[in-house]
Amino acid sequence: MAVKIRLARRGRKQAPVYDIVVADSRSPRDGKFIEKLGQYNPQSTPAGISLKDERAVYWLMVGAEPTDTTRKILSVRGVMLKKHLQVGVEKGAVTQEVADARFEAWSKEKDAKREVKMAKLTEGKDAAKKAAFDAEKKKRADMEAAQQKAIAEAEAEVAAQEAEATEVVEEAPVAEAAEETTVEA
């Protein structure tokens, strides 16, 4: 019986969540499986992976073959490295202590890289939020300036109309007086 470590899809439409399972290669994708090793959620940032590392190493050691996607997930978690180191221990190339030390060093380096990457992601999100906020403030300031300009123009127009009205009122008696003198002559 060929045993595979693969993904079984769950979740609703357009929002997949995958179980990482050990299954007979002949069984359907979402069908019967031997053991559930963990879960993979590609929808979150970064992708969420929960995995029983020791059980995954056990299944790899007894001959289970991971699919391409599952192999990548196992590599990210360090399961493939653990298996590689364990094979070296069984062959006598390294001792268990050296293998554990190498894995711990790799794990610390990986965690440091992940922290830097997460900091960049959150920094990028914060910068984007700040840029959007600044753009909104500028837009609001421009709108207020435009409103103030419109109010000032309206006040100037009203003042001009009032000045024009007073000029017309003052000119009217002079024009009437001129008409009276021409009529009398």
Question: Do the bridges between strand 15-24 and strand 35-41 make them parallel or antiparallel, or are there none, so unpaired?
Answer: antiparallel
Residue 155 lies in a domain: no
Q: Check residue 68 and give its pLDDT.
A: 94
**Which CATH number fits the domain that encloses residue 78?**
3.30.1320.10
> What pTM does this model have?
0.62
Residue 172 lies in a domain: no
Give how many domains the chain has, as a whole number.
1
Helices (H) and strands (E) in the chain, counts: 4, 5
Residue 102 lies in a domain: no
Range of the domain at 12: 3-94
Torsion sign across C-alpha atoms 123, 128, 133, 137 = positive
Length of the chain: 185
Per-residue pLDDT of the chain (185 residues; tens, 9 = 90+): 689 999 999 989 999 999 999 999 888 888 888 999 999 999 987 888 999 999 999 999 999 999 999 999 999 989 999 999 999 999 988 899 999 999 999 999 998 998 888 888 788 777 788 888 888 889 999 999 999 988 988 888 888 888 877 776 565 555 555 566 555 55
Q: Check residue 98 and give its pLDDT.
A: 92
Residue 19 lies in a domain: yes
Residue 157 lies in a domain: no
Nearest to 81 by CA among 55, 99, 62, 59: 99
Neighbours of 102 (CB within 10 A): 16
Residue 28 lies in a domain: yes
